[in-house]
Structure 1
Amino acid sequence: MNDPQQIITQQKKSVYFSHVDNPVCTGTGYKAPNLHTWGPGIRDVYALHYIVNGKGYYEINDVTYTLHKGESFIIFPHMEVYYYPDQEEPWEYVWVEFKGAAALHLLSMTRLAPHAPTLPVSPEDLEPLYNVSGSNGNKPFERERSNAKLHVLLTYYMEYFPGERAVHKTDYVISAQEYIESYYWNPDLSVHHVVDFVNINRSYLFRLFKDTTGMSISGYLTAFRVQRACDLLKTTLLSVKTVAYSVGYEDPLYFSKVFKKVTSYNPTEYKSRHTAVINGKEHNSRIP
């Protein structure tokens, strides 16, 4: 018997990267327009700064960068830096410190790098997004909320200052898969909707999807629908008609035909070959 779950899992192994946790916010703050300087020194965290007003200087790798309102700079861990305000027009800035593998992952999708630690004026005022900390940050929900807000802030840098890694060709495939897995239940879902969502050339997406997963988009949609149908038949007491409708098939007879083609069983046979006790009744779940 063909196993749609195995088909889907096998195709995903070569496409999905493992998800990382949120970056961890370790501090945030605001510097008033005074003559405070920092360094030379190193930090053991990332420290992202956004210039609210004024002018200042950032020295790293024997290069001095001049920064103005709306521009950003970052301190990378374990790199010697020195930054200081302009004497005539001292800068005012906000900053956020963070650490973790997720931080490096997100930063890698921006133009920020040790050899390129500054960014030009943002198309949007980013100052409000730097308010990522809670009242004191000691409570678990406050820490998680701060980390989530930091993640949102970094996504704006990904959007406005994307790096070469920001859009990899497999990301298009992942987007198509995620769209299918979110809307497979809609009987009107078509390949056309998937192409519109991913927003790239139709032929290119077809070729990319096939090369990456070994399946066509329509084939993936069918396999995923049947996989979900198998799950429902094994773990619930829903009728075949209800299962069919739940996975995007309005015609139970057509659903049965598709299901048998993929699994070698019609839905009723598949259901009867699985036994488990659900709400005190025997039900499916023996066969994978």
Structure 2
Amino acid sequence: MITYMFKNNHFQELQLLHYGTEACTPGHHFGPAMRDYYKIHYILNGKGTFEVGGKTYTLHKGQGFLIVPHSVVHYEADQDDPWEYSWVAFQGSNSPSFLQQACLSEHHPIFELGNEDDEMRSCLHRMINSRNTHKGWEISMTGLLYQFFSILIDQANSEHLQPMPDYSKETYVTQVMDFIEMNYANAITVQSIAAHVGLQRSYLCSLFKDQMGSSIQSYLVHYRMRRAAELTLDPGLTIGDIARSVGYTDQLLFSKMFKKVMGEAPTYYRKHKTAPSQLSC
């Protein structure tokens, strides 16, 4: 067994707690017991079983399983072909969101990597063989943890075209709104938003409209125009500056959309308004 542990309060959003690899002996097991942190095992070779919530999963090379905090689990290596696995234990405020994007939860704890297997093995190899020999080691390890999640999320996005049943529609709507808030100034599209959330474009659009009463495109335009209205109060910005700041390279198109949403052309709005209108989407 190889394992390293550290805890640094600088990484509150995503914190690597410990990690390692083990070639298990036949019948080697853990539990039934629980952890107070998240832990993901990835099977490098061999077979074994994982039990949680009254369900038993028989797993093999290329698959993995999630342990969530305070959930009683039991896992055991096969008697004839015991597994070898690597694991990563973590916590932090971003953990639930990342796991959701990877389509992993207590009720859906199993994943399987296809083309991403080599990338996952490389990431784990770098993590496990890293040594704390430089000042940036913990930052480097946290970066590898983010890479670990990116592999899981990419795999999930390539497989799941519908949301897992235990994820609420409101959660996906929140992801859309958060993505727009962070990226409205860029050349984003509804397709790029759907790719980020991990759902089919048509399904996400239908889900969003049912929940919000507005299309994603309309919400994006209204959000951009509200931000633009706020920017018109800055006399140091030209209308072109404002247009580019909210994602429009075409100033004429921007002015057209601004008038459609705000009811006035941006130049007129700037002259006659002291505060941006609070329009709902």
- Which bin holds the TM-score, normalised by the shorter protein? 0.5 to 0.7
Counterpart for residue 28 of structure 2 = 37
Counterpart for residue 172 of structure 2 = 171
Q: Which runs of 5+ in 1 are unaligned?
A: 1-20, 275-285
- Write the mapping of 1:51-130 to structure 2, written as runs, cut at 5 A: 51-58=43-50, 65-100=57-92, 102-108=94-100, 112-114=104-106, 117-119=109-111, 121-124=112-115, 125=117, 126-130=120-124
Deviation at 1:149, TM superposition (A): 2.9
Contact 1:123 1:160 in 2 (8 A): no
Contact 1:108 1:165 in 2 (8 A): no
Contact 2:184 2:220 in 1 (8 A): no
State the TM-score, normalizing by the size of structure 2.
Answer: 0.61
Identity %: 30
The one-letter code sitting in structure 1 at the alignment partner of 2:226 is Q
**Deviation digits for residues 4-37 of structure 1 (CA, Å, limit 9, x no counterpart):** xxxxxxxxxxxxxxxxx74432111111354583
- Write the mapping of 1:158-237 to structure 2, written as runs, cut at 5 A: 158-159=156-157, 162=160, 163-165=164-166, 168=169, 171=172, 175=176, 178=179, 182=183, 194=190, 198=194, 200-201=201-202, 205=205, 209-216=208-215, 219-235=218-234, 237=236
- Please state if 1:142 is matched with 2:114: no
Structure 2 CA distance for partners of 1:145 and 1:256, relative to 1, 3 Å = closer
The more displaced of 81-90 and 40-49 is 81-90
Deviation at 1:228, TM superposition (A): 3.7
- Please state if 1:46 is matched with 2:47: no
Q: Please, what is the CA RMSD of the aligned residues?
A: 4.5
SS in 2 for 1:148: helix
Structure 2 CA distance for partners of 1:272 and 1:164, relative to 1, 3 Å = same
- Bigger relative contact order, structure 1 or 2, given CA contacts below 8 A and separation 6+? 1
Q: d(CA) in 2 for partners of 1:211 and 1:38?
A: 47
Q: d(CA) in 1 for partners of 2:174 and 2:36?
A: 36
The one-letter code sitting in structure 1 at the alignment partner of 2:48 is G
Counterpart for residue 287 of structure 1 = 275
Deviation at 1:238, TM superposition (A): 3.0
Q: Which runs of 5+ in 2 are unaligned?
A: 1-11, 195-199, 277-281
Deviation at 1:93, TM superposition (A): 1.2
Contact 1:110 1:161 in 2 (8 A): no
Structure 2 CA distance for partners of 1:60 and 1:184, relative to 1, 3 Å = closer
Q: d(CA) in 2 for partners of 1:107 and 1:178?
A: 17
